[in-house]
Structure 1
Amino acid sequence: MPKIVDHQKQKEKLAEAAWRIIAEEGMEHATVRRVAKEAGISLGSLRHYFPTQSELLLFSMQLVLERIRKRASSLKLDGPPVEDMKLILREILPVDEQKRYETEVWLAFTVKAMSEPSLRKFSNEIYEETKSAIFFIIQSLENLGLASPNLDVFLETERLYALIDGLALHHLQKGDEVTPKLMESVIELHLESLCRRNS
């Protein structure tokens, strides 16, 4: 009886192999040949799924986004609003090994998309989706009456987005200094600074 191959699982296996190589050795080493070897799959089989490195990288980033969405949708948001907001933001910061891999892939994908038109559309979609999630958090502070008076929702959305990106990049550069605990503390302090002070 012929062996039934789960093609989606094979593609995910290849994407995860690409994640490891990008995180441990850098984007330049994530060639189709190297990824095939890391995944224990023949080069011909890899090319059947992903004829080019760009297609492999695109799927890898799509898988990252899919897993972030899945984690976010499974969060139990039944605590104090600001605590729930911290939980949401924690899903897009590299606070554990899995999220660090995802951040490495995101960074490699973003850089590659600058010179690869076939990747630019999805890169822009990621940017807009992330920005929308952050806008929702800032807007919620205002809607719930928690925000400081005269808070500019659009400006604060950009500021928080820049803070998250900066923390993620600094963690990748200096993980021993910009630790997960430090990143979470910075985000907590920032959110609290946006809230109305109780008098």
Structure 2
Amino acid sequence: MPKVVDHEERRRELAAAVWRVITRDGVANVSMRTVAAESGWSSGALRHYFATRDELLAFACQQVLARVTERITALNPQGEPHEVVRVLLLETMPIDTERHVEASITFAFLALGLGDPKLAAVQRQILVGMSGLCLNLISHLLPMESRERQVSLARRLNAVVDGLSVHILASHLTPAEAVSELDAHLADLPT
């Protein structure tokens, strides 16, 4: 009887290999050859799933988005509104090893998206997702504010989270320092 292959699981395995290459060697060193070596596959077998490096990179980035979204969706934080917002935002910040890898991959795509429309489309999905999360959180936190004010505060919150994440990735802030700054920003929001 022929072996049944779960093609989606294989694609996810390859995305994980891309993440390891990016984390260890940087996004510039991702190639069909390096990912094949990392995954233990031949380049030909890899090409059965992804025709190009860009296709492989786009899928790897989409998998990060799916992972973070799934994790946030599974949470059901309880408590004061500010604490709920904090818990959900921390899922997007590189404050532990898993989230550091995810953020490294996400921010690596910023530069890649500048020169490649397909990768830019994936990057837009991530930016739109984060923007939507921030708007939902601000709407939950400040339901009495006008929609215009909510949008403005959500944009600021998004910028704070992204900025703190970049500072962690660049080793300018420790995760604890960034969490402290996020807490200070949330405390400054109107109640």
The TM-score with structure 1 as length reference comes to 0.89
Match of 2:101 in 1: 101
| C-alpha RMSD of matched pairs (Å) | 1.8
Give how far 1:78 is off: 2.2
Three-state SS of the structure 2 residue aligned to 1:60 is helix
2-structure distance, mates of 1:77, 1:159 = 23
1-structure distance, mates of 2:46, 2:184 = 46
2-structure distance, mates of 1:82, 1:185 = 14
Residue pairs, 1:136-147, within 5 angstroms: 136-143=136-143
Match of 2:65 in 1: 65
Match of 1:180 in 2: 175
Give how far 1:65 is off: 0.8
| Number of residue equivalences | 190
Match of 1:129 in 2: 129
Match of 1:195 in 2: 190
2:134, 2:158 within 8 Å by CA — same for their partners in 1? yes
Alignment-mate amino acid for residue 157 of structure 1: A
2-structure distance, mates of 1:89, 1:193 = 16
Alignment-mate amino acid for residue 119 of structure 2: L
2-structure distance, mates of 1:92, 1:100 = 9
Q: Any idea what the Cα deviations from partners look like across 1:27-66, whole Å, max 9, x if unmatched?
A: 1111110011001111111111111111011110111111
Q: Any idea what the Cα deviations from partners look like across 1:139-160, whole Å, max 9, x if unmatched?
A: 22221x6x8xxx9322222211
Match of 2:164 among 154, 162, 167: 167
Give how far 1:68 is off: 0.8
Alignment-mate amino acid for residue 162 of structure 2: D
Unaligned 5+ segments in structure 2 are none
1-structure distance, mates of 2:48, 2:190 = 52
Greater Cα shift, 118-127 or 77-86: 118-127
Alignment-mate amino acid for residue 111 of structure 1: A
Identity %: 34
Unaligned 5+ segments in structure 1 are none
Q: Which has the higher helix share?
A: 2
1-structure distance, mates of 2:104, 2:79 = 31
2:82, 2:186 within 8 Å by CA — same for their partners in 1? yes
The TM-score with structure 2 as length reference comes to 0.92
Alignment-mate amino acid for residue 193 of structure 1: D
Greater Cα shift, 102-111 or 32-41: 102-111
